[in-house]
Amino acid sequence: MDRNTARAKARELVSRMTLEEKASQLRYDAPAVQRLGIPAYNWWSEALHGVARAGTATVYPQAIGLAAMFDPDFLKEIAEAIAVEGRAKFNEAFALGDHGIFKSLTFWSPNINIFRDPRWGRGQETYGEDPYLTTRLGIAFVKGLQGEGEYLTSAACAKHYAVHSGPESLRHEFDAEVNEKDLWETYLPAFEALVREGDVEAVMGAYNRVNGEPCCGSPTLLVDILRGRWGFEGHVVSDCWAIKDFHEAHHVTDTAPQSAALALSNGCDLNCGNTYLHLLTAFQEGLVTEEQITLACERLMTTRFRLGLFDKDCLYHKIDYFSSDTDAHDRLAYQAAARSITLLKNDGILPMKPEELKTIAVIGPNADSQKALEGNYNGISSRYVTFLEGIRASCEGKVRLMYALGSQLFFDRDTPIAEMDNRLSEAVAIAKRADAVILCVGLDATLEGEQTDTSNSFAAGDKPDLELPLTQRRLLEAVVKTGKPVVTVVASGSALRVEEGNAVLWTGYPGQAGGKALADILFGKVSPSGRLPVTFYRSDRDLPAFTDYSMKNRTYRYFKGAALYPFGYGLSYTRFSYSAASYGDGAVEVDVTNAGGMDGEEVAQVYVRNHHPEAPENPVLCGFLRFALKAGEKKRIRLPLSEHAFFVIDQKGKTIPNMGRKTLYVGGSQPDHRSMELLGQEPLYITMIDGTGEA
C-alpha cells in the first residue's frame, strides 16, 4: 500500500479515537483499542543479522561481517530472507494471541552509525567506518527488509540518529560535539540516503546529545534536517528509555512531562520506554497539543496500514512457520560467512593440504564456542557449526584432530591460576605433537557489545585497548613459541592487533555456518574474499581520545599513520590483475584478469582524491563491485560513480562541486602504501580535470 493511501486510512481511523486512546498508541507496547478493532501491537523487534530475540531463526554473520562482503545485492537477498522469517514468526505469534516484545514486524535495524573508533563495543552492529560503504549497504538492507510489493514485508528503521558511537558508559549523558564538516561529511550521509533513496519507514534517535540537543528531542536533527531538509515521511522512535534521560541525565528538562513534551513537539512519534505515560499530564499542563498527539498517532497507524495489518487479504498473512529456519536460508548464511571471512596474512601455509598433514591441533577459547559465531542482537539457530565442528568434519578420515581449550576467553577471578596453567600446558603439549595448529582466539559479545548486554562491566561493553585479553595473549605466545606452523583465527566485531602466526584470518562473528565456511577456506575449497570494513590499527595510542568526535586522524580517510591491516584490504588464494582503466559517462571501466590458479571472487574498489583544500586527506571509497572469475578468466567490469564522488564538504557543512583536479584509483584495495605492500600490486589511477580520463 502506497504511503498516501495508508496515510488517508490512518487519518480516518485516528479521527475516531479519543485523546486517551491516541496517546496510548504512542507507546512501544501499544494496547488494543477493542471498540475500533485495533489489536495490541508491540513495536519493538530486532533483525540486525536475522530475526533476533524471538526464538529459533537463521543467524547470519554479524553486521560488520556482512559489510566485509562488500556486496549490496547479496545483502539485499539476505534481508529479504530475514523479512520472510519475520513474517512467518509474526503470523504464528499473532494467531496464538501473542503480542509480546520481539514478535512484531517493525524491525529496529539497520544500525548505520559510523564505526569511528575501534574501541566502541557496538561497532560490530554497523557496516564499518566508511560513509559510502555504509550508505550502499544500508539502502540494500532496507530495501530487502521492506520489499517491493503492495505492502511492506516488514518495516526497517535507521538507527541511531545521529553522531552516536560511544563510549557506552557515557551514552545516557554524553554530548557529542561535532563541527559542521564532520556532521555532513561523515555522520549524516547514510541517514540521508536511507531516507531519500531507501524510503526507510522509521528512524530511531540516539541516547546522546549532539551539540547540546538531545537526539530524541532535537529541533535541529528531527525538525530542520530529517523532516524539513530531507522530507522524511515515516515515523520516529526513541531509543529505549532515552527520553527519560532528558531530565535524569542530560538535565535539559526538569520533569517527565516536560521530557515527553520536548520529544513529541520535535517529532518523536513513538516512545520505547515509559515517559510517554506522562503525555496526558503534559497535555493538561499545556506543554503539548492534541494535534501533536494526533499527528504522531497518524504516522504510526500509517506504518501499520502499510504493513497490511488491517487488511485480512494481505498476501503476506499466508507465510507460514515453515518459512523460517529453512535449508535455503542456511545456504545463504553459509555463503555470507564464506564471503565475509577475511585473510589478513599468509606466508604460504594456506590453503592447508590434508594429504600433507597427519595431525592438526585446534586450540583456543573460541574454537568450540557458539557465542563466537553469534555477535549481539542475534536469534538462536538450530544449525550452529562451531569452528571445531567445521574443521573436524573436513578432517574426518583424513587427518587426526586434537583439541584443547588452552585458556579462558578472559581472566576470570573465580578460576584458580593452577587450572589456567593446566589449560595452557595442554595446549602446548598438543601443539608440539601436531603438524599444524589452528588457534581460535578473539572476543564475543560478552566482552564487546552494548552497555546492558555484556559481562564487561568495567568498560560497559567497550574495549580498553586493541589487544587480545591477557589469558589469550599468554596462549598465543606459548603456542607460537613451539615453532609449529600456526594459523591464527580471530573472531571479533572490531579491530584487534593480532599479527602472530603464519597466517591470520578474521572471521567477524560469522553466524550459524561459520565453522563450515572457515573449514572450507582453511582447506582450499573456497578462496577467501572478504575485505575489511574498518581499519585495523597497530595501537589505540595512534588514535585520538575516545570521546573526541572530530574525524581528525580517524578512519582510513583521515588517518596519518600506517595501519596494521588497512580498510578495504583482504588477501586471496589467487591473483587478480587490473588493466586498461578509463572513466566516462559516470563510470569507471577496467579489465580484470584472474591470473592465478584458482577460481575466486574479487572486490574491485574505486577511490577518489579530490585535490581540493577541504577534501579528506586520503583517497575516499566511491565505488565497488564484487564479482567472480574462474582461473585465467578476464572480464571488463563497470563501476558507476555517484556525482557525490566529486563533491566536497566545506567547513560550514556546505556541499560544493570540485571543478578542479581529481584522481581516481581502481584496484583490489585502497591506494595506501600498506595495502600495496601487503598485496604486492599498485592500483591503476586516472587523473581528471574535465571529467574524463584514462590510466
Positions annotated as catalytic residues are 239, 448
**Spatial contact of 194 and 142, defined as CB atoms under 8 Å apart:** yes
Rounded CA-CA distance 320/323 in Å is 6
Rounded CA-CA distance 460/622 in Å is 35
**Spatial contact of 592 and 576, defined as CB atoms under 8 Å apart:** yes
Rounded CA-CA distance 465/15 in Å is 55
Rounded CA-CA distance 73/310 in Å is 31
Q: How many alpha carbons fall within 13 Å on the CB side of residue 331? A: 4
3-state SS class at 389: helix
Strands, E assignment, 350-474: 359-363, 400-404, 436-442
Rounded CA-CA distance 204/226 in Å is 11
Nearest to 116 by CA among 201, 48, 205, 187: 187
Rounded CA-CA distance 484/436 in Å is 6
C-alpha cell at 626: 564484487
**Spatial contact of 504 and 519, defined as CB atoms under 8 Å apart:** no
Amino acid at 534: V
Rounded CA-CA distance 330/328 in Å is 5
User: Beta-carbon neighbour count of residue 474 at 10 Å?
Assistant: 17
> Tell me, what DSSP letter sits at residue 468?
P
3-state DSSP percent of the chain in helix, strand and coil, to 5:
35, 20, 45
Q: Which long-range contacts (CB under 8 A, 24 or more apart) does 93-100 make?
A: 94/39, 99/32, 99/39, 99/40, 99/41, 99/42, 100/42
Amino acid at 197: E
Nearest to 202 by CA among 104, 100, 109: 109
Q: Which residue has the cell 588497512?
A: 566
Rounded CA-CA distance 684/301 in Å is 52
Pure H helices in 69-130: 72-95
Q: What's the distance, CA 176 to chain centroid? A: 21
The most distant pair of C-alpha atoms in the chain lies apart, rounded to whole Å, by 80
Rounded CA-CA distance 139/349 in Å is 39
What is the number of residues in the chain?
Answer: 695
Q: Which residue has the cell 586527506?
A: 617
Strands, E assignment, 206-341: 209-210, 213-214, 235-237
Rounded CA-CA distance 328/448 in Å is 31
**Spatial contact of 243 and 275, defined as CB atoms under 8 Å apart:** yes
Rounded CA-CA distance 181/674 in Å is 28
3-state SS class at 600: strand
Residue 88 backbone phi and psi in degrees, to 5: -60, -45
Pure H helices in 307-454: 327-340, 371-374, 387-395, 417-433
> Tell me, what DSSP letter sits at residue 579?
E
> Tell me, what DSSP letter sits at residue 664?
E
